[in-house]
Amino acid sequence: MTQKDSGFDAFFQAITTSPEFKDAVTKDWKWDSLASLESSLEEMQSWVDKAANIMKNFDSTFNTPEAQSAINPPKTGNPQDEQAPSIIEVQRFEKKEWKPWGFEAVAGMDVLKDELQDSFIKPIRFKFLIERLKKQSPDMESTPEEKKKHELLLKLYSEYEKFKISIPTGMLFYGPPWTGKTFITKKLAEELGCGFVAKNMGEFGSSYLHQTTKNIKDFFTATKKAAEKEPIILFLDEIDSLVSARTDRVDANKAEEISQFLQEFNALETAPNLIVIAATNRPDHLDPAILRSGRLDKKIYLGPPDEIARRELFKMYIEKSGRPHEALDYDELSHLTEWYVSADIETMCDEVARDASRNLLELLDEAENGSLTDTDLSGHTITMDSLRKTIIETPSSLKMVDMSIYESWLEKVK
Ligand SMILES: Nc1ncnc2c1ncn2[C@@H]1O[C@H](COP(=O)(O)OP(=O)(O)OP(=O)(O)O)[C@@H](O)[C@H]1O
Ligand SMILES: [Mg+2]
């Protein structure tokens, strides 16, 4: 027998000391057969231990959510060490003179910007304006001109309303990483001049039983409450991480979380001032229920920038941001960066700017001792050569991305 005090040992002990066993052994068994039984049972135990170890390694290697919850089962009790994330942060973007505002900051994507302007921004702005006017008491209007203006606006709105145009209050941005899903949502909030609440869906997770479900409920309650005071864009990033069809999980906790999310999501109909924008890199992992929910009416693909957009991105991050540069061939730069994403181009422009400015730091002593000349200051510019070199050295972020995920995804789910 091993010294290990396992359940197996107790079982073995109970069997071998039982009167029935002793009786059987003394009658028909030989002591050497008992010894061989003991060694066989021990061998069996060692194989059981080995199998358990293999299963454990298998689970952690494959790292599935099921494996994780088996290794770290949900805790019961009160999650005292976890702060209930019911307090939401409503961001309000501040307009700064030197910084492009709203869609001005978005290079390219002209078709998308126009579409959003017509079907989303203009009607929503109008709706928000009218709601604000309706909330105002007539006494608050100081001058007869203002009163007249409000009357006309309300009249115009009632004419517009007759056409029963439904405004989409939800959108899904999908596409490869770093193509600007988060960026454009923030710029949209700037365009609309509304509050912005961002939530990464992974943040709802808790290791406490039922706490994730409660987090979801609290979050939506708080967001809806905030939207009673002002129009809000609710940005649900990485929506696939909660509402995922990837694993076909039958796990009851996960099912409860998804069901709570869908319940809250559908109940957003009662929050007219809340616009929901969800984003994902993995549309193929989304639970079909979220797509059927009706809240994400519009599904918009954000892909790598086209030729025109790439040209504009270089211009935006070099010329328009005032970085010193020699005459640049934007057509060539655009040509060299096919299949690069917006964030790649931004990063490469930062890189060449840093390189071009590096030698200026060496001139600190000269500036301090007064010997700095105009000649010293000249020639520190971004050049075509430095850009070409950086582009060659920097692989596109899409290199590792399986683009087939996005091809005809929308057609498949329609
Ligand atoms: N159209 C654009 N014009 C100007 N800059 C852009 C544009 N699109 C993206 N960028 C720049 O690229 C950066 C990365 O974009 P962003 O983080 O929005 O990508 P994402 O699609 O949300 O990525 P992820 O899938 O990883 O969440 C932005 O911070 C922004 O500076
Ligand atoms: Mg993002």
CATH (domain of 167): 3.40.50.300
**Does residue 342 lie within any of the structural domains?**
yes
CA–centroid distance, residue 237 to ligand 2 (Å): 7
Residues 239 and 375 in one domain: no
Nearest bound ligand to the CA of residue 186: 1
Residues 281 and 321 in one domain: no
Give the domain-ending residue among 280, 301, 322. Answer: 301
Residues 138 and 287 in one domain: yes
Other beta carbons within 10 angstroms of residue 80's beta carbon come to: 7
Residues 275 and 388 in one domain: no
CA–centroid distance, residue 85 to ligand 1 (Å): 27
Show the ligand 1 pocket: residues with CB < 6 angstroms: 106-109, 177-183, 281, 313, 316, 342-343, 346
pLDDT category at 64 given cuts 50, 70, 90 is very low
| pLDDT at residue 20 tops 80 | no
Nearest bound ligand to the CA of residue 315: 1
CA–centroid distance, residue 299 to ligand 2 (Å): 16
Choice from 342, 349, 401 to test ligand 1 binding pocket (greatest atom count within 8 A of CB): 342
Sheet hosting strand 195-200, strand order edge to edge? 195-200, 232-237, 274-280, 170-174, 298-301
Residues 263 and 351 in one domain: no
Q: How many domains does the chain have?
A: 2
| pLDDT at residue 80 tops 80 | no
Give the domain-ending residue among 248, 268, 301. Answer: 301
CA–centroid distance, residue 100 to ligand 2 (Å): 20
pLDDT score at 35: 65
DSSP calls for 117-167: IIIIIHHHHHHHHHHHHHHS-GGG--SHHHHHHHHHHHHHHHHHHTT-PPP
Residues 175 and 197 in one domain: yes
Q: Do residues 262 and 290 touch, judged by C-beta distance below 8 A?
A: yes
Tokens, residue 271: 């929050």
Tens digit of pLDDT for each residue in 175-221? 999 999 999 999 999 999 999 999 998 888 777 778 888 889 999 99
| pLDDT at residue 146 tops 50 | yes
Structural Rg of the chain based on CA atoms: 32
**Enclosing domain of residue 135:** 102-301
Residues 216 and 276 in one domain: yes
| pLDDT at residue 236 tops 90 | yes
For the ranges 67-71, 129-133, 358-362, the lowest mean pLDDT is seen at 67-71
For the ranges 27-31, 46-50, 194-198, 360-364, the lowest mean pLDDT is seen at 27-31
**Does residue 133 lie within any of the structural domains?**
yes
Reported pTM: 0.75
% residues pLDDT > 70 (the chain): 81
Check which CATH number belongs to the domain holding 397 and give it.
1.10.8.60
Residues 294 and 334 in one domain: no
Residues 239 and 312 in one domain: no
Q: Do residues 304 and 340 touch, judged by C-beta distance below 8 A?
A: yes
Other beta carbons within 10 angstroms of residue 300's beta carbon come to: 18
pLDDT score at 277: 95
Residues 190 and 210 in one domain: yes
| pLDDT at residue 86 tops 90 | no
CA–centroid distance, residue 397 to ligand 1 (Å): 12
**Does residue 91 lie within any of the structural domains?**
no
Average pLDDT, the chain: 83
Residues 126 and 233 in one domain: yes
pLDDT score at 11: 72
Which of 249 and 211 is assigned the larger pLDDT? 211
Amino acid identity of residue 410, one-letter, is L
| pLDDT at residue 84 tops 70 | no
Alpha carbon separation from 63 to 60, 133, 137, 265 (Å, rounded): 5, 54, 59, 29
Residues 159 and 234 in one domain: yes
User: If you search the block for the tokens 């995920």, which residue do you land on?
Assistant: 405
For the ranges 108-117, 169-178, 236-245, the lowest mean pLDDT is seen at 236-245
pLDDT category at 85 given cuts 50, 70, 90 is very low
Atom of ligand 1 minimally distant from the CA of 281 = 25
Atom of ligand 1 minimally distant from the CA of 185 = 18
pLDDT score at 63: 47
CA 95: distance to chain centroid? 25
Task: Give pairs for 370-377: CB < 8 Å, separation 24+.
Answer: none
Choice from 103, 183, 314 to test ligand 1 binding pocket (greatest atom count within 8 A of CB): 183
Which of 224 and 50 is assigned the larger pLDDT? 224
The 8-class DSSP code of residue 380 comes to: -
Nearest CA to ligand 1 atom 13: 343
CA–centroid distance, residue 262 to ligand 2 (Å): 22
Q: Do residues 287 and 245 touch, judged by C-beta distance below 8 A?
A: yes
| pLDDT at residue 162 tops 70 | yes
The residue ranges of DSSP E strands in 258-307, in sequence order, are: 274-280, 298-301
Tens digit of pLDDT for each residue in 312-357? 999 999 999 999 999 999 999 999 999 999 999 999 999 999 999 9
Give the domain-ending residue among 301, 322, 351. Answer: 301
Provide mean pLDDT across the span 222-248. Answer: 82
